[in-house]
Structures are given as structure tokens and as C-alpha cells.
Structure 1
């Protein structure tokens, strides 16, 4: 009896060991059908490294909500490797993702603090796994059926410089140089003996102390004649990143040009600074010089034109818009250029790094091609008014006026201008509104000009905004005036519903805004689509007619969509009887499409969550 009991205990211990061993192995692998979700993560077999979404300021092993999602590998409490922020298409710190996408990797952010990292394997045959090994190396492995072995197709630490802080503080790492680590200009190795043995982790220290800091603390310095300054580093991957949110600038904001040469954007009522041309302005700022008009044009305007009436200082700075080959804004110190924005490419000033991922609402440059350049601070865009919390300010009369104004603007581009112009990026944030909320189409950085005999074109480089692109353009690169008609239809439905197509999500049916509108149309329940802030039984037939026109504009086939001339006739009721609309394009969300495609079979195009290439101007 005693032997039997011992035998049973022995088998129980063996089973427990097998169970725990299996769990330990599984935690360092993510298969193609699994997600890493908040607050989950995977840990290497030895427990030294952890993979998940982490904030550099917080070393706890859970997924943290960042302004932009980012994946970290941790060595206990120290960051070991990171992907760089996710920009909606790629992880910006992974060099191999700058020219192509790692198959099936997708980051989904619901905007409520929940971030998912998923991996969908899309090859025709074979298996694939991602694994975090005990050395902290995150690998993609694919099964070779002929050789019957796992092949490593991607490593997180392919280069020594990919390791987080490989060269220590105040040093840079370049895998193409020997040695790979070097101190920044003005710095020297902290431990020269270790540095000579190619042990870089101690980093570098300043060769010459900072004057303002060390001298203020009565420390000795032998370089009193050398001023402090900033060193600009380009094409580097830093340990930390700075994210600045998109700002909606109100109509009470003004530009100010300071005597320090710093151009700032400031709220008139509160005095709060919204934006500045210098990231590190001088501490000794003289009285402000205020930009009192919304337009600057022509040659240089002397500094006295911008001064506040209460400012007695003379100063020497002036602001001008120069038309060289491409418009550009300069700040001048007397006759010497002091600061510049870089050329305007139709969307942003290329010399402002923080404008490469967003632009301040309302900044617009217009060039008539005859040497006259206009620089506008146009207060606000339609995007600001259409969605909460300002949508209640737009009554139906104003909304219809915007719809009609945009339609007439597109008609001018398509038919009435000397050359036919296809905008290709029509959306709410590209509709500028003046003080009376009159619309003006802006941002022609992606527009195409056609000759008199041309009516369509095609491209291999699809650019634009997902949710507004027509299906023939998004899938095949074909564009015509019907592409703008589709975008106009999306915009019309957004104006009527007060909802954005890009962020709309119907949980029950996984529908886009277009799909939701079509469902309500077929159910004869279109009133539930209308923004409750403008719903009025006396206006129902007019709003209903606009929804009908919007559905005609977003039909899947370009030949079924009306021209802008026909749209205006429909809006003005010159065409009384409207044809019934057919099913619109893109009625299901991307997640639903991916799910349906995976059930039918593997397909690169159906599983790839990215359907838009990098946006660039003409």
C-alpha cells in the first residue's frame, strides 16, 4: 500500500512538471492565429526578456498606452530593443519595414486605450511563427517542408546598432563604420580603457562643460569664449521619441514674431502658446511683435508692420513670404536670413520636421504662378466643425451651403478651369472655411492635371486617404473625375451624419459608414443616419435627398456615379426624379474583410491590412 502511494505521487509530480514545462515553452512564441493583447506579453524561455507594448518611463511588464503604439523587448527592468512608433503602416524604427511590409504584421488601436498586435501569415504553403529567444532576439521563422527545418527569415538584432542604447549615452552607433560606436561632437569616452576594448555601454561625457549650467554653479571652465549651442543630428534612431498631437486652431489665434526671431502661434484671449518656430527659443525675449492680418503677400514686410502698438522697441527682425522656385517663409535679421520653413510641397513646409506627420490646421500657401504668393492662416477647416464637439454649431442650412460650395468647386476643377484637375484627396480636413463658413477646397499636393482630350489616368503609386479613395483607384490605380465624385459622396454622408467614415464602426454588423448608410437605406430607416443635432421633420425631405445623392456618388462602379454637373443639378432639384442607388463600395470594415478572406483561403491582398502607400506630393 505504501509503495502504491509513493508510485502515485511520483506520477503526479511528473504530470505537473510536464504541464508547467509546456506552459513555459508556449509563452515565448506567437503563432499566426494569436494576438498580443493588453495586458498580455510573451517572455523568453529563461525569463530574461519580455515582449509587449511598453512605455520607456515604466518598466512594469504590461502593455502601456502611448500616444503612438510601440513594441519593446525588456531585459528584466531595462529596455533592450524597440521597434520605433507605429505610424499606421510600419514600425518606423525597423529599417526593413521602410521599403516593404513584414507579411501580415498589424497594429490595431481602438482609441480607448486598447492596442492589439496581430500577425497573419499569408504565404501559399508552410507555417510561420514568431519567437523570442533567451538572447533577447525576436525572430520570424518559416518551416521549409523540403529540408524539414525552421528557417530564420528575420531577426530583431540583425545589426549591433539595433540593440537599445548599444553605445551608451551621448554616443551614436553606425553598423557600416568601424568601430561602430563614436562619441557625439564635443564629447569623449567616459571610460577610454573600456572604449579601446570595444565595450561601449558606459557611453561618453562632455569634453567641455556647458557654460550656462556649470558656470552658474561656480564650476571651473576654460572655454569662456565658446557659446553653448545645439547639435542637429539627422537620420538617427533615438532611444525616445516625441509625439505632438494635432492641434485645432481656433479663430481667435494669432501669429507673433518675437524680437528674438522666434515666430509663435498664440491664443489671443489666454496668451497660451500653441506653436513656435524654435524648439529651444532664447530665454531673453523682448516685447512681442504681433501679426495683425491673416494674409501676407508680395515682398518683405518691414518689422514695424507687425509691432504691437505698446511695443517701444525697434528690433531688427522681419517676416516675409518668398517665391523662389517654390514658396517659402523666411524670418530676416535686417538683410540676413535668420530662419526659414523650407519649401512648401503642397501639404507641409518640408523644413519643419514636426510637420512631416501632421500639419497645423488652417496653414495654407497659395501661388498664382505670376510671382504673387499668399500665406494664409485660415482659422479652421470643415473637419473641426463636422464632428464633436463643434458639430452643434453647424445647422442644416450651413451644412448644405458647405455641400453645395464643395460641389461647385469640384465642378470648376473638372469642367470650368482651363485644365481639368483631379484632386485625389478630397476630405473634410482639406475644406477650409472662412469666418462666414464659406468652403474652399485646399491641398492640391496630390492633384493631377489633364489635357483637353484626357479624362482618366492610372498610376502604380496610389496616394490619398483611406476611406475617401474610390475602389478603382485604391485597387487598380485608375482615377478620373468619378474618383473625386466618390470622395465627395463620402464627405456628403459625413456632413449629414456628423460621423467620420475613417473611424466609424458598427459593432453588430462590422460596417463602415457607407455600409451603415446602405443598410439603413434598404431598411427604409434612413432617419437613424441623420445627425440628431440637425434632425427636423420639416427638413427631412431635403436631408433625405442629400443622402440619396451621396449614395449615388459612392456606388461601386464608376460608370454608375453621376458627374459633378449632374450632382449640382440634383442638389438644386433641377433633376426631380433621382435613380435608385446601387450598393456602395467598401461597406465592410477592414477587420471583417480580413476575417472573411482568411476563411476562404490565404491571399496576400485580402489579409494585408495596409491598402495605401506612402503619401507624397506631386
Structure 2
């Protein structure tokens, strides 16, 4: 049975193993205890009124007592001691300037205070913590010594473990958890906000860990950002790319990212050019990088402070701290769902990004013109005097063994075994994406050539007709703005297409990751694509655009302007209403798809991303609502918003709305679209209400439907 003393230990009132003291309000208790699964005895402080012993401080953590003969006492020189049964010192407060008649008191805060006979505090447990941080405790530097928390080795052993937590006193203090000498977790800069709310008598959490992958220090390496809601959690900052691509694909992100384009100030320094400046891209709700430097400037000068220093790679202005600057590499960046700071990343010549938007708009318009032009030529050369059914039978016949030479002349044939070897038997690690017709895999041929292999899924809605359509159309469209078809394979039930490999994936991977691309112009071919969307525009190593996926393409005669189909194929969200509802398609169908794509580029959002947002029906409905309210500027992605280009961007929005009109007759032709995009004095018609501004019954995805 414990014999409870008061809250103070004096030279005349030591504490034995069977005794303890409690603070005046009985919140904390000090005495001897044994952790779970051991009989070793330690002196500690724990919560008195919480079920189960929660120990917050341990005296002799590295020298346990092996029996219950221990004593807590005050020595003749005034130090607080823990003695074993042989009166040997196993722990001491080790104060050099103590005096006789000292006393130790357990306070209501959980702090054990040693005072001399004048009442002066000469030692306290709050300045010598173990593994717990309590209210009113302070971590920092006091008289040259750093106070920190050190973990228990195990729940049964309170000796010093592998982890340590404390403040890193840089220009802006931050809380760290170390594993050995390596950081394990970082709080982010402290904003000097008070932690204890006196009038409410409660605590607010200034630092916390959600215990996700992103809480691991430096998870995504230099210039990488971690978002626990994404898969994978790591992505390179805009304007950067993985330093080690294969490691990144394998899920090892510690190598980080590097800039795609050198900073303008670096190029100015080497070439003598001084006429261009770098810009900044804004990232919201961010945990800012490590090693921030503080500047005394006001918020409106913070950007210039960074811009005038070529070594400065980012800046932020945060309430309670002020202007923060980062030089060199950025590490341990995290995206939060709320709170956080606005982080501005330095990039080369911001106007280049706006030029990229212009290039994207023009190139897609040119490709559409090329598509339509090629339709007429293809019809006249290949299908004069033939109906569609006869043409398909002839092409299908070309794939039979006895006529294999015909298709070999047109397009090389691959055998299935060689493609299986090239893709490591179609291993998931080589999978590039999933289309409506089946998966696409990266492969490497025996001669080292990289390829992309589209394997027709048996469960897809595509049959031999669509397969042959793509083979025939693409094999005739050897143009530098179209993905080049290298060959095909037809063996048994297997049907595969072999394309050139596009290193930089598809436009949507950059567009909706809020990245901007610089694309070259070209293409005079013309075709009704029927599935024009961001994911069908692939990008090569130099970011040149390549139109892909012609399985749905259709050919028109020179005197035709529209056609009907009983089988509607395409992607909802990009499909014109007359095609989605009635199966009627024409050049204006591709114009509608282009309008959707143009609005997506400007807003940085998918048309279908509004499906679950009750405030907006779709991107088209959202844009129309803002247009009518005179608030259309808010549609623009803030990362491309710039007063110098505002008039041009507003023109693109206007053109986009004209392209997505509900009735095909109200939409401009591809020639008119091209003229409006490239002319500085175009007189644009007033748009009417676009299609699909009412809540749709479907969302994005490649679909097939047969009209009855």
C-alpha cells in the first residue's frame, strides 16, 4: 500500500519505494514505478487521474533499480538524488551551485522544481525532459544547452532510444524529429502564434503530424512535392522533371527533380542578355521547404527581394513570420488540403508559359484543319466507287495469311512473341495507360528501339473493323504531328498496334497537373477524329504534339459535310450533343471537342471535374455562368493569369464558347477558328448558351453505345 506524502521532498522527508508525492491539485504524481513486462524500478512523474500510468518524465532512465530498496532524497550539498539499497547514487540533479536545505516540489504543471533555501529555482525537470512535452514546457537553448525530447528504447525500457525531437534554431525556428543524425520529420517554420488560449483555457495545436507517407522528411527529394491524396504521392514541381526517371517510375522518389529549363537570370549572366526576367508560379496551401531565410521587407517587396538574387529559388509571405526566402534546392515540400502557405517557385521567363498556350491553341486548330483536309483526299483516292462495306471487306482480306504480302507492303508485321519479349510479357511495370480499347505498354525491341504497344482488350467494344480502321488510316498518315504507326500484329485472337514511344506521355498529364507545354506548329492533314481530347495528343521528347488513336476516325467524301452512325463512340465530355444524342457527326463535331479542350487549357480543369460539385454543372456551364455574370476572368488558371496577356486570354475563352455552342450551325468552321485565334482584330460573334450546361447523366470516360 502506498503511503502518500505532500508535494515536497526535503532533506528530512525522503521518499521510499512505497511512497509518492502528488501536486497540490492532484494532477501529477511522483514516485517509483515499473514499466510493463519488467520488474526494474524507475523514479518518474505520471498523470495522477488518468486510468493507466502515463509516464511523462523519468529520472534514472539509463540506470534502473533492480529491487524496491530505492530512495529519493536531498543530499547535504542540496542536490536531488536517487539512491539504491546500498546508498549508491544512481541519478543526481547534478547542480554545482546548490546549497544546504534545498527542497524539491512537484508543481501542478508536472514540473519538478528544486529550490535553494532562498526560494531560487536551481534545477527543474522541464529543462531536463525525457520523452514528453507538457503544457508550459519550453524547448530551445538555455545557457548554451539544447533541450530536446528523446524517445524510450521500448515500452518496457525508458532508456534513450533512436529518436530525438527538438527545435532547430535557424533564422526561423522549426521543430524536428531526428533518427540518429538524419531528420525524420519537420514541422515547418514556427509563426510565433501563442499556443495556450488563456480565456478559453485550452490548447491549440501549432504543429501536428497526420502520420502519412508525406510526413517522412524529404520523401520526394529536391524540388519534389508530396500530396498524400495523390497516387503516387510524389510529383515534380511545375517546370521540373525527375532526375532519375527509372527510379521515379519504380517508386523511389528520393533522387528528386531537376529544372527542365535554366533560370533566365542564369542565362543572362552567361550571355550578357538583361532584357528578360524570371517569373514565379504560385502553389497554394503548402508546407514550405526547409531552411527558410527571413527578410525584414514587407509583403509587396518580398517577390523583388527574391527576383533580384539569382540564387533565390522560391519565396513566401506568411502571417506571423513575414517574408521567407529559399536559396538553391528546395526539399521537404508538402501539399496540404487546407491551411499552409502560398509558395512561389521561381521559373524561367513567365511569358514563355503564355506563349505555350497560344501554341497549343494554334496547333490543335491546325491539326483539325489537317484532319478534315485528309478526309477528302482519302475518300477520293482509296474509296472512289466503293461503299463502306466493300472497302472494309477488302482491308480485312488483306490480313489473311494468303494476302499477308499486301499488308506487309503497307505496314510491317510483328510477331506476338517478339512483342511479348519487348514488353516483359506485358508486365504491369511497363504499362503506360489504359484506353477504352485496351492497355498500352512500353517496350524495347531487340535493336534497342523504344516502342508503345496497344493491345486490344477482348472485353472492349472494338472489333476488327475499328482495329483495321486505325491500321489503314494511321499507315497513310505519316505526318510529324501524328503518332507514327510502326507496325501491327494479328495472331489468333490477339490484335496489337505498335507505335513510336512518346517520352512525355499525353497532354492531359501536363495540362491537368497544371503544367504548360511549348508545342511546335504544323500539319496540313484533315480528318474527322471523333475522339479529340487531351489524352489523345501525345508528346515526344522535345514536347512536339502527336495526334493518336484513330480507331474512331471517319473519312468523308469531298461533297459531304455530315454523316450518321448507329454506333456512337467517343468520350463523354468532349462529344458534341448531336453526335452523343443522335449519332450525327461532322467537322463541327471536332470543333466542339476543340472548344472543350481550349477551355480546359485556360482553366486548368477537366470538363468532367465539376460532376460532383453542386455549384457548377460542368466546365461549360461554369464558364457560361461566369460569362453572364461579367466575372469570366476568374475562369483563368491563376498560374497563367497576367495583365499583359489578359486581352488575348479573354479572346481564347470567347472562341472556346463559340466552339461549344449547342447547335452545330452556330459553331464556326475550323478555318474560322484558326483565323480567330491568329488574328489580332477578329470581330467575334456573341456566344449563345453552350451545350451541356444542364447537369449531365454521365461522366467522362471512353464509351460505346449502339443506337436503336
Query: Which bin holds the TM-score, normalised by the shorter protein?
Result: 0.3 to 0.5
More strand by share: 2
Return the TM-score normalized by structure 1: 0.37
Whose Rg is larger?
2
Return the TM-score normalized by structure 2: 0.33
